[in-house]
Amino acid sequence: MRSDSLPSLLIVGVSHRTAPLEVREALVFPRGELADALHALRAQAGLHEAMILSTCNRVELYGREGEAPAGDALQSFLHGYHGRLPELPASCVYRLAGADAVRHAFRVAASLESMVIGEPQILGQVKEAYHTAEAAGTLGPTLGALRNRSLSAAKRVRHETGIGRNAVSISHVAVELARKIFGELKDKNVLLVGAGKMSELAARRLVREGARATVVGGRTFERAAELAAALGGQAVPLEALRSELAIADVVISGTGAPQTIIKTDDVESARRSTVARGRHRRPLFLIDIAVPRDIEAGVARLDGVFLYDLDDLRSVADANLRERRKEASAAEALVEREVREFLDWQRSLDAVPLVTELRRRAEEIRRAELARLRQRLGPLTREQEEALEAATSAIVNKLLHSPTVHLKEAARAGEGEEQVGLIRKLLGL
C-alpha cells in the first residue's frame, strides 16, 4: 500500500506523551481566539484547510497543504503564535503526514491516545474542534471527510468494544456499583450525609438516573438545604438520620466529623425496623468518602449491606482501568480497519475527475448525434422521442460502466495515476 496517498494531510502537535505540562499549557489556544488563529494559520502556512485541536492533554494543528510543503510552517506557527516559550524542544513535537496523519486523527478521536484510555470527553472535544473550524470556514472536503469517518469510527469503538465500559473516576465508580447492586436507579433513595464536593458529584449522577436525594444537614443546615435544592430533593436535620437510614438505598457519607457517625447498631436497627421489612429487605449501599471515615467498618458484615470507602472505590477504579487496557487491542484493530477503508476510499477519489470527464464527453457526443438525427427524421411522436433517449443513454451507460468500475478499483489499489494517464491518452481527453 502506498503511504503517500494523502500527501496533503499534515498534523503537527504536542501531547501528554511527548511534552510536559509546562509546554502543553504554554501552547493551549483559548477558545475565543480559535477562529482568528485558524485564519492566521491557514494564511501563514499556505494551507487549503486547517483545524486546531486544543485540549489540556494535546495541542494539534491539522492542515491540508497547498502547493508548498507546510510542515515547518506549522511547527513555527505552533511555537510562535503564543510567544510564551523561548524555544520549543524538537523532541516534544511530532509531525505526521499522509496515512500516518489519518491514523493518528482516528486514534485520537477514538480515545486510544488519551491519558486515561477510553475516556469519553475527547470525542466531544474533537467534534467541537472540527465544528469551530467549520464555522471559521477553514474546513474543506479533506478534513470534512476525515471528521465524518474518524468520528463514526470513534462511536463504533465506543459501542463495540469495552474500552469505555467501566468507570475509572471515583464518583462514576460509585454510581456503577449502585447499578451493579440495584439494576435500575429509578426511584431509589439516596441519602447524603454531609455536603462535600465529591458526594455532590456522585449524587448528581444518581439523580440524573432517576434517584431521589435527601440531604442530612449537620452544623450548617443552610448548606444542606442548598445542596438539596440543587439536587431536587429535601433536607432533613441530623436527628432524622436514623429514620432516614431505614428507607435509604444508597448512603453517601462525607462529613468532616472526627469520629464515625453511622454505627453498626444504627444500620442494624434500621434494617430490622418495620419500614425496612416492608421494603423486602432490599440491599443497602453505603459509600464512605470521608477521611477519617464516617461509617463503622463493622457495617460491612451485615447481610445485604455493601460498604465502600475511598480506598475501595479507588481499587475498583484501578481494576476497571486494567480492564480497559485489555479492551484496547480490540479497539486498535477496529480503528485500523476503519483507517484502511478511509484511505482506500480517498484513493478511489483520484479517479473521480476522469470519470466525470468521461461521462461529460460521452453525453456531449450523444446529444450532438441525437440533434443531427432529429433534423434528418423530422418531427417524432413522444413515444419515439422517449425510446430514442432511452436507447442512446443505455448504450452510453453500458459502454462506460466497466471502465468506470475499473478506474475506481485501480485507484483504490494505488495504481490510479498510470491508468488515468493511459485512458486520457486513448480517449483524447
Active-site annotation, residues: 56
Q: Least distance to another protein from the beta carbon of 181, Å? A: 5
Q: Least distance to another protein from the beta carbon of 334, Å? A: 13
Cα–Cα dist 140/419, whole Å: 27
The 10 Å Cβ neighbour count of residue 73 is 21
- Residue type for position 317: A
Q: Classify residue 422 by burial, with Cβ atoms within 10 Å: 0-12, 13-18, 19+.
A: exposed
Q: Classify residue 279 by burial, with Cβ atoms within 10 Å: 0-12, 13-18, 19+.
A: middle
User: In Å, how far are 11, 13, 46 from 88, measured between CA atoms?
Assistant: 16, 11, 22
Q: Least distance to another protein from the beta carbon of 103, Å? A: 24
Among 330, 362, 370, 388, binds another protein (CB under 8 A): 330
Each residue 298-327 as x (binds another protein by CB under 8 A) or -, in order, gives --x--xx-x-x---x--xx--xx--x--xx
Q: Which is nearer to another protein, 277 or 424 (CB)?
A: 277
Q: Least distance to another protein from the beta carbon of 294, Å? A: 17
What is the CA 61 to chain-centroid distance, rounded?
Answer: 18
Three-state SS at 285: strand
Q: Which is nearer to another protein, 176 or 338 (CB)?
A: 176
- Binding piece for another protein, criterion CB under 8 A, among 88-96, 149-157, 277-285, 350-358: 277-285
DSSP secondary structure, 275-287, as one string: HHHHTTT--EEEE
Q: Which is nearer to another protein, 160 or 386 (CB)?
A: 160
Q: Does 156 bind another protein (CB under 8 A)?
A: no
For another protein (CB under 8 A), the number of binding residues is 31
- Residue type for position 227: L
According to DSSP, residue 1 is labeled -
Q: Least distance to another protein from the beta carbon of 193, Å? A: 20
Determine which helix (DSSP H) or strand (DSSP E) holds 253, and give its type and residue range. strand 250-253
Among 4, 30, 86, 280, binds another protein (CB under 8 A): 280
Q: Which is nearer to another protein, 6 or 167 (CB)?
A: 167
- Asked if residues 35 and 136 have their Cβ atoms less than 8 Å apart, the reply is yes
Each residue 116-155 as x (binds another protein by CB under 8 A) or -, in order, gives ----------------------------------------
Three-state SS at 47: strand
Q: Which is nearer to another protein, 103 or 205 (CB)?
A: 205
The 10 Å Cβ neighbour count of residue 156 is 16
Q: Please give the residue ranges that form the binding site for another protein (CB under 8 A).
A: 162, 165-166, 177, 179-184, 277-283, 300, 303-304, 306, 308, 312, 315-316, 319-320, 323, 326-327, 330
